[in-house]
Amino acid sequence: MTQPTPSKTRPPREMLQAERPWSVKILTLLLFLQAAGFVAISVTSANPINFAELTTPTLFITTVAQTLTRTIAFSALALLAAMAGLGFLGLWRTGWPNAMLVQGLSLLLTLILYFREGPVYIYGLMLYSILMVVYLHHPEVQEAFKTKLAVEAELEEKAA
C-alpha cells in the first residue's frame, strides 16, 4: 500500500495533532473576539439615524449612505475576521494572510473614519489592530503556518 501524500497547502497531520503554540491559541481567540466586535459595531452603527432631523433629500441620502457603507464595511470585516479565526483554528495556510488582511483593512477603515467623523471607538480599534499585527509577527505564529515545502526547503538549506 502506498501512503497518501500530505497536502502542500496544509501542515503535516503530525503537526496538526501536536500541541499548538499558546500564541496561536490566543490569536485564534482574539480573532473571534474581533469578529464579534465588528458585528457589534455594524449593528450599533445603524441605530443613530434620526429621520426627524433629515429635512432635505440630500442630507437624507448622505446620512443613509454613510451609515449603510459603515455597516457593510464592518460586517465584511467581521466575516473576514471569522474566516481568519477558522484558519487559525485549523492551522490553514491562509489563516495568517487573512488575519493580516483583516488588520490592514481595519486600520484603513479607522483612518477613513478618523478623518471623516472621528468617532471615539476608533481609537480602541486602532490600538487593537496594531497590537494584533505585532502579535501576528511572533516567531511561534509564523512557524506554525509554514507549509511542508517551506520546512523541507529549510532542512535542505541547513544540510547543504
Grouped pLDDT means (10 residues each) for the chain, 160 residues: 53 55 92 96 78 76 84 95 93 90 96 89 94 92 74 72
For residues 141 and 103, what is the distance between their CA atoms, to the nearest angstrom? 16
Query: How many domains is the chain partitioned into structurally?
Result: 1
Query: What's the pTM value of the predicted model, to 2 decimals?
Result: 0.76
Asked whether residue 136 is domain-assigned, the answer is yes
Q: What pLDDT was estimated at residue 1? A: 53
59 belongs to a structural domain: yes
Which region holds residue 12: left if phi is over 0, alpha if psi is between -120 and 50, else beta?
A: beta
Residue 12, in any domain of the structure: no
Those residues with Cβ within 8 angstroms of residue 51's Cβ, 6 or more apart along the chain or in another chain? 60
Is residue 1 assigned to a domain?
A: no
How far is residue 93's CA from residue 4's CA, in Å, rounded to a whole number? 20
* Per-residue confidence (pLDDT) for residue 16, from 0 to 100: 47
Domain annotation covers residue 142? yes
Range 125-134, long-range pairs (CB < 8 A, 24+ positions):
125/37, 128/34, 128/37, 129/103, 132/27, 132/30, 132/34, 132/99, 132/103, 133/100, 133/103
pLDDT at res. 60: 78
User: Does residue 2 sit within a domain?
Assistant: no
Continuous H helices in the chain: 13-17, 22-44, 57-89, 95-116, 122-136, 139-144, 148-159
Residue count (the chain): 160
Give the model's pLDDT for residue 17.
47
Query: Is 35 part of any domain?
Result: yes
pLDDT of residue 3: 56
- Closest to 100 in 3D by CA, of 145, 155, 53, 46: 145
- Could you tell me the residue range of the domain that residue 100 belongs to? 20-159
